[in-house]
Amino acid sequence: MKKLIAIVLLSVLPALGMAAGGPSVPLLEANNDLSDQESLQRGAKYFVNYCMGCHSAQYIRYEKVAEAAGLTEQEVKDNFMFTETKKIGSQMISSMDPDDAARWFGTAVPDLTLTARIRHSGDWIYTYLKSFYLDDSKPSGVNNTVFPDVGMPHVLVELQGLQKANFKVETDADGNEHKVFESFEQVKAGSMSPEEYDAMARDLTNFMVWASEPMKLERQRLGMWVIGFLVILFVLAYMLKKEYWKDIH
Domains and CATH numbers, the chain: 23-212 (1.10.760.10)
Q: Which of 204, 181, 182 is nearest to 192 (CA)?
A: 204
> Which pTM was predicted?
0.78
**Residue 83: its pLDDT value, please?**
76
- Exposed / middle / buried, residue 144 (Cβ in 10 Å: 0-12, 13-18, 19+): buried
pLDDT score recorded for residue 249: 59
Query: What is the pLDDT, as a whole number, of residue 165?
Result: 92
Which one-letter DSSP state was computed for residue 247? T
User: Is residue 165 helix, strand or coil?
Assistant: strand
Alpha carbon distance 99, 97 (integer Å): 6
pLDDT at 222: 87
Residue 229 phi, psi (nearest 5): -60, -45
Q: Give me the half-sphere count of Cα atoms (radius 13 Å) on the Cβ side of residue 174.
A: 2
What are the strands, taking DSSP E only, across the chain? Answer: 57-61, 91-92, 132-134, 142-144, 161-171, 177-189
**Predicted local distance difference test score (pLDDT) of residue 24:** 63
Q: What is the pLDDT along the chain (249 residues), one digit of tens a residue?
A: 444 333 333 333 333 333 334 446 889 999 999 999 999 999 999 999 999 988 999 999 999 999 999 999 999 998 888 877 788 999 999 888 877 777 777 777 899 999 999 998 899 999 999 999 999 999 889 999 999 988 888 999 999 999 999 988 888 778 788 888 889 999 999 999 999 999 999 999 999 999 999 988 888 888 888 999 999 999 889 888 888 887 775
